[in-house]
Copies of this chain bind each other. A is one copy, B any other.
């Protein structure tokens, strides 16, 4: 699945009005399920206790608009679903302009844009519009309609497990709870879809787990049902969010920046995009908040291209399909593909003979020693020189400054010639 295909999937998913529960999320998961038939859809009923939280009522949103008394719709959910506050309570009422303004959310600093606002855990009525539209409201009264409902329903998520040789797991988490925004967050699900297809195509040591969940309450719910298993099996995991634009790469550290996922991302990005932006766990904001919380403590970190909260279109109507691109999605895929490869090849390797092996007799070394030829220290000899059996491939890669794509054929060649063995 290449960048173009990922982009087309994002286009297909874009119009759906997702939230942390409800039909939009189910429709989204259905489309992902079409791409990856092995996805299992799980439903967790409203009211289920999940650690310190409980699964909220399901939000049904059918329509929402603001019209003048003469029937002109100035706001229409059907055109832009960001116009309705996420989890807005229902209303169907003629109100004064003053009353309307009390429930209107805008972005004064970005006066052209509609903000993305939610109120999941306190019942509110809300209409979102641009600051400019708000300033142009000239009627005395408006008819405001939010045709919504809270019902006992379910929180829905998708789970995909791709078995490997071992039950040690690599875990990817991404979220499917944002309405019509592209980078945050259709990029995550589409890149994860492509990664899952890639993983299905390779010989793999590890089992891979993907979850497509609502943010926060979804990861909390998922963890409440799977915590012990995950703690026993996940060796590295990645929260994938905002991976569709083409401006930079970002890495959000785990609390102490020292787990296997941290090491993999640090290594891969140091070669893939050395100017990448590194954020501490103080700058966390997505589901790494749950996965890396003290009593959960999975070996995970988070990866973005332009990080949530850090790009101007974030959580506005401007985060549309023009923010992401096939190239942006492909870049994220490539970077994460390297993470997977690095994990798959990450062993402690040990040379099989004392001293340097005679590479020349195996055709791996020039037979003439010449100034200039003599002075090269190439990746092959460096890799062998550090194949001590005591440091893993990530460490060797960092030291000898050779990336996984360079090392893969070298490792294969050394294994073939029995110059190294796995410890």
Contacts and interface: CB of A to CB of B under 8 A. Distances in A.
A248 B361 CA distance: 37
Interface stretch (A2-10, A114-122, A168-176): A114-122
Interface stretch (A31-39, A64-72, A326-334, A348-356): A348-356
A51 to B, nearest CB: 5
Interface string A101-123: 00001010000000111111110
Copies of chain A in the complex: 3
A281 to B, nearest CB: 7
B385 A281 contact: yes
A96 interface: no
A40 interface: no
Interface string A325-366: 000000000000000000000000011011111101100000
A51 B355 contact: yes
A1 interface: no
A117 B351 contact: no
Interface string A275-304: 000001111110001101111110000000
A78 interface: no
Interface size class, chain A: 35 or more
Contacts of A212: none
A14 to B, nearest CB: 19
Interface of A: 51-53, 86, 105, 107, 115-122, 124, 216, 219-220, 223-224, 227, 255, 280-285, 289-290, 292-297, 309, 314-316, 350-351, 353-358, 360-361, 367-371, 374-375, 377, 382, 385-389, 399-401
22 contacts: A52-B357, A52-B358, A117-B368, A117-B370, A118-B369, A120-B369, A122-B367, A124-B367, A255-B386, A255-B388, A282-B377, A282-B382, A282-B399, A283-B377, A285-B374, A293-B351, A294-B351, A294-B385, A294-B389, A295-B355, A297-B388, A315-B374
